[in-house]
Structure 1
């Protein structure tokens, strides 16, 4: 969410309070009240979040970093090079394929802000190579236009935002070309944090300008012709820019697979409230009220209800249509540049209900953002939601789904290293198409990065499990669910009831077991909204008020039997032929999967054993072992972490003759770290000298 990305702070509590503000009509364009709240939470909430409760022995943990030049596994062979080799991206039967019919799943990252414009060319190339090795095949270019980033795509503190800065565009050219060479595709946002100036020619500018003389136009863009015109001008110039390194415009480059019209910008749940009569924006309010009255009278709705943005009901129908009108004017302008890829209008984000989805269907892909909290592995779904259920409700039947932002919303959550594994597993099980963590880096990549939530490039808590997660998701080590449930409501319930994981125990309890999709309702006032037609034999209708988990259950399991979350013991397990993983809390017990015996003696850790040959572990001649655990930064601005050692043993059933080595070929392992006994490779984790990536493979 933008509140956290602008280098202010973030906590789960802040997000909850912001959502309350939205519902209660108190927020108005980052007003004084919100700024006071941010300052308070930065002082008093964030320190609580950043002191992970890892126990008094944390000072005894060894100091270990994850510098960008450190050896990693090499999954770059999963990428076809260059990106665009198979033609342009398309949608087919609700999934993504290339022109030649090659299916694709994207495992990606955000690259944002200072990383875009403050990284030198040699570092750009090195990081593109590193991302490919980590299994990444999609990068979202984000915060390119945000006013707090200097320089940004408009230059350094420009007097207007009407022109593209040549030097900044050269940096973007270099990133896109380097990523393309490594088989990494690109997602471009067209509007994120742009603040308009007085010189941009915006009607009614003074009534929306903030104290510093800049205007955040989110919400206002849906009713202001001049804001809309400036946005269309920008997207035309941006997509028509010719990359000096590829010779192609951004629009015509098949490596650029998707664009987003406007980031985290909706009327239905967030910014519609800024147009109300009590918000001191008379010109914009007059336009808004006239549009609401016209829509109500044209569709036999109650004019006194239709403008009440904070309420569910008729207002959600009107606001959906208002968003749709704007999107249907911007999308043709995008296509006029020659861009043939995916278009996301904006995202389902920040606690939105399913009534925020209809206008998103005007695009070619539905997008969602969701941030979690520490400890979710132990959440009882009958009682509370985790962050992935909020993604699940965005899966509109018949359309592909991207998640251009996911992460844990507090730092450093002690169990954050588990999150990539859970995201990859559920994404494969649900059939999601493109997953992008926020983010790879928000800082310059010329040197070490300081620890924070938005720059994972050197965070061992996330990096060490990213290759395992990429491999599992991209190679389909977890099958799609056997059963599918559909949220199918009539228009009165769809728009009139606040349906979300917060309000529905069914959504929370069915999500990890089976696939979940949302239907669009036949809506008299929205003739453009295509009602979902289900094949009834393939779906079960979800009863929103029913728990799909037994009353005394402490484990929720996938209907394929391939993974489970033991929330009673805060543990996650994947057990398939190609990926066998345990993660979470341990109490010196033995945990078995079909080919691996895990005896983990560290209180909290994650260990993934995976085949790299496309066959099952028991027959594989090359196996990747990924190990991670708790880590906390040594200092706020230092790149080093204190890392808890992971101890215990692994017994892996695999062919005889395999040798154990570290991913760091310069780090020799002691002979007592590995032996073969009774058809199993036995690995002593206490003897691997802190290595976090291991190979079992034929001697070279």
Structure 2
């Protein structure tokens, strides 16, 4: 092995067009020798004390480069390695540095480089290309090797190709001004808990003062709960959520190590019962800030990502499934004791800012027993997940139950195919839910409970529908399932490869990816509120979620029409660099976030009248226990009814002996005539969906507008306004705020959005669930004309804080809108005297 000698002379940096010249000076000054010593006895290379763990030669070049630019480093290299054993350890690389000298990379490019090879005594060009991240202030050309090698390097050049003009304009929703027409915090009473504990009356959530409430919420995971730096930042987050119409926060995934944030535990590898005081202080303050803004919280009794440390439960901590604890806490006595200790430690300590333990604070309005427990058994995975000890305990309990009932001995079927095992497991879960409810109530909790929250058939939901629970919860990742193989072949796409939830047919296609409300309706009961504690429209890559902004107004409308009781968007999680970093993160998804106030208003403000007619499906035992491992929503009546009438399921354990007008046995409605109309709408006449074209229209006294796909110049006549759409897609709605109607409102909010994208190369290959592109997030324009039928109006575009930015029109009855030109997602209309 020889020493690595790299000639990187005094740099002659020139900018000719978009090229940075880093070639050597003619006199070859500035040679760099990396000194090492080879220890033959130990067969290893020893480095200088000031060296790194590898050989390297580097030069730094000041250069401010636009985000998303294609940056290529090229070098002529004469590499002497006939055996080819050293070249594989040697790379030409480029490193980007920010103003502080910190290394920054575009998504997925950290560590990227081009390996070298033997050049047989001549110089060859080597090059490697990168996508420039945001905030580049300098570049470092780096040649590194993990072995000492000999080479000659010359004519290093860096070329920069700026991206084509980015689509859309940068726009980020920040703190919304209190007096902004976009601020919907007026929907919240303050503080949370003002009227005491929420309870259930006649299928609704109701406070002691008689106020009925629906929840418009968001999931905050650890990277949002613990990553703020000051109390002012936490206060701003709470105020922003309230302004967006949020009145419920679900605390979720606070314990996992994969969240880049303040850890919940002092050392989670040693104990999950010793909490970090710094983390708890942040949690306490955030809860207090949310409380002031009228925002309630919910959770399950044990964190969804909790993984006990070694020795805390009698199982190896690195279990085969993250769902293992959820199942074990249902029947293993030792695990139950551990969970009880965890619940006491997390919930029962006083909040240092409110003085009240969370378990005794009406702010904690709802509690689930356990998150997504049926994932552990819905496809037979129970047998694979449970350790031998757990299998023995469950089997022993099963045998004892059979003996009590005078039945012969029979092994428990962990695949959940044998009918007696299926029934016992259901009853065991139902009993465990009731046991956990009693335990938590004994700690002073006065709120309401659900069992679990995930299911694809009635068996999954039936345990939660027992008489001991107060409300139903059903997760709904709604729309295109981009993670499923062959999904394009099963999906109806419009010409131009266009898709969103509005184009789904209102009939059963026997395909998992094509249901809208069918799966959710399985949890729609006559006397229990129904929420979705995890809800998301168009969970997928940008390819199929490009038009995702149409999801929330549509779902909020049907949700209110059905008199369902709330949903919590998943999620606010990820980084803080003003880009859509994760396909489930909404923080910088500006256009999607801009629909929050509208969706909250549709759901919570009494804007949508409830359905006139109710359709009741009565379930039989066979509907619940017949096929516990198969999807149960492929049923014609589940696809078309929810957009036309109220739909309620009659579970036998809750509805035995009761009769409802016109009730239909579920099996009898499984094969109905296919819905043939191009449009489908509610029996109140307030909304209609054209599923053939993919558009959705709302015409109530307080909200009017249209969303979806349009023909150029297509016109929509509404009672108080008319739209002429010029863009092929958009979400465009007028709403009246605290006024009783658009016709009488002094001010109106006009929500007008297309979609959001990142800057840079958004078509690059993604890594995992992260999304390509760089900061800042951008909004794509929507264009058209809005005509007002009641009076004349002054019109302003609103800025990132919801403040008036630029006057678009004066004393007008109509104006042309262009959100790209006007750099906005919201307009304010003020009625002229």
Of stretches 687-696 and 133-142 in structure 1, the one that deviates more from structure 2 is 687-696
Residue 96 (str. 1) matches residue 205 (str. 2): yes
Select the residue among 658, 662, 670 that pairs with 2:797: 662
Tell me, yes or no, if the aligned pair for 1:218 and 1:271 is still in contact at 8 Å: no
Q: Secondary structure of the equivalent of 2:591?
A: helix
Unaligned runs of 5+ in 2: 1-106, 109-162, 481-499, 761-771
Contact kept, 8 Å, 2:617 with 2:649, in 1: the verdict is: yes
Question: What's the secondary structure of 2:655's corresponding residue?
Answer: coil
For 1:460 and 1:670, the matched residues in 2 are separated by 22
Structure 1 counterpart SS, 2:597: helix
Aligned match of 1:242: 350
Match of 1:199, SS state, is coil
Contact 1:605–1:628 at 8 Å: present in 2 too?
yes
Q: TM-score, normalised by structure 1?
A: 0.82
Which region of structure 1 is more displaced relative to structure 2, 660-669 or 449-458?
660-669
What's the secondary structure of 1:242's corresponding residue? Answer: coil
Q: 2:681 aligns with which of 554, 557, 575?
A: 557
TM-score (norm 2): 0.70
Distance 1:533 1:452, change over 3 A: farther
Q: 1:469 to 1:287 in 2, by over 3 A?
A: same
Describe the SS at the equivalent of 2:551: helix
Q: What is the aligned counterpart of 1:585 among 709, 716, 721?
A: 709
Q: Is residue 638 from structure 1 mapped to residue 638 from structure 2 by the alignment?
A: no
Alpha-carbon distance in structure 2 between the residues aligned to 1:391 and 1:75: 27
Check the 8 A contact 1:558/1:564 in 2, yes or no: yes
CA distance in 1, matches of 2:301, 2:250: 11
Match of 2:196 in 1: 87
CA positional deviation for 1:107: 0.8
1:505 equivalent in alignment to 2:636: yes
Deviates more, 1:338-347 or 1:386-395: 386-395
**Aligned-partner Cα distance in 2 for 1:369–1:378:** 22
- Higher mean Cα deviation, 58-67 or 235-244? 58-67
Where 2:608 maps in the other structure, the secondary structure is: coil
Selected match of 1:135 from 233, 239, 245:
245
Secondary structure at the aligned position of 2:692 is classed as: coil
User: Partners in 1 of 2:380 and 2:406 — Cα distance?
Assistant: 21
Q: Assess if the C-alpha contact under 8 Å between 2:556 and 2:599 holds in 1.
A: yes
Q: Within 1, Cα distance between the matches of 2:824 and 2:657?
A: 52
* Structure 1 gaps, min length 5: 1-41, 44-56, 522-528
1: distance between equivalents of 2:739 and 2:664? 33
Contact 1:268 1:355 in 2 (8 A): no
Structure 1 window deviating more from structure 2 (600-609 vs 216-225): it is 216-225
CA 411–124 in structure 1, closer or farther in 2 if over 3 Å, else same:
farther
Q: CA deviation at 1:414?
A: 0.9
Match of 1:4 in 2: none
Distance 1:343 1:686 in 2: 44
Do 1:265 and 1:271's aligned partners in 2 also have CA atoms closer than 8 Å? no
Match of 1:52 in 2: none
User: Where do 1:454-473 residues align within 5 Å?
Assistant: 454-473=584-603
Distance 1:159 1:165 in 2: 13
DSSP 3-state at the match of 1:359: coil
Identify the residue that residue 174 of structure 1 maps to in structure 2: 285
- Helix, strand or coil: the match of 1:517? strand
Secondary structure, in 3 states, of the residue corresponding to 2:220? strand
Q: Give the match for residue 331 of structure 2.
A: 223
* Greater share of residues in helix: 1
Q: Counterpart of 1:323?
A: 429
* Higher RCO (CA < 8 A, seq sep 6+): 1
Larger radius of gyration: 2
Query: RMSD in angstroms over aligned alpha carbons?
Result: 3.0
Residue in structure 1 matched with residue 464 of structure 2 by the alignment: 359
Give 1:153's match in structure 2, choosing from 242, 245, 264: 264
Q: Deviations over 1:519-571 (max 9, x none)?
A: 221xxxxxxx4335545237555555446675432222112111122110011
Q: How many residues align?
A: 625
Structure 1 Cα separation of the partners of residues 745 and 582 of structure 2: 38
Matches of 2:198 and 2:552, distance apart in 1:
25
Cα gap change, 1:141 to 1:637, in 2 (>3 Å): farther
The residue that corresponds to 1:5 in the other structure is none
Instruction: Label 1:489 to 1:345 Cα distance change in 2 as closer, same or farther (>3 A).
Output: closer
> Residues 109 and 317 of structure 1: is their aligned pair in 2 closer, same or farther, counting only changes over 3 Å?
same
**What are the within-5 Å matches in structure 2 for residues 547-696 of structure 1?**
551-588=675-712, 589-635=714-760, 636=772, 638-656=774-792, 658-664=793-799, 668-671=805-808, 673=809, 676=812, 680-685=813-818, 689-696=822-829
Instruction: Return the alpha-carbon distance in structure 1 between the equivalents of residues 404 and 693 of structure 2.
Output: 56
Q: Is the 8 A contact 1:82 1:181 kept in 2?
A: yes
Cα distance, 1:634 vs. partner? 1.9
Q: How does 1:282-293 map to 2 (within 5 A)?
A: 282-293=388-399
Change (3 A) 1:689 1:319: same
- Cα distance, 1:301–1:626 mapped onto 2, change above 3 Å: farther
Normalized per residue, the structure richer in strand is 2
Distance 2:687 2:214 in 1: 20
Which one is further off, 321-330 or 576-585?
321-330
**Cα 1:614–1:668 shift into 2, 3 Å:** closer
Offset of residue 627 of structure 1: 0.8
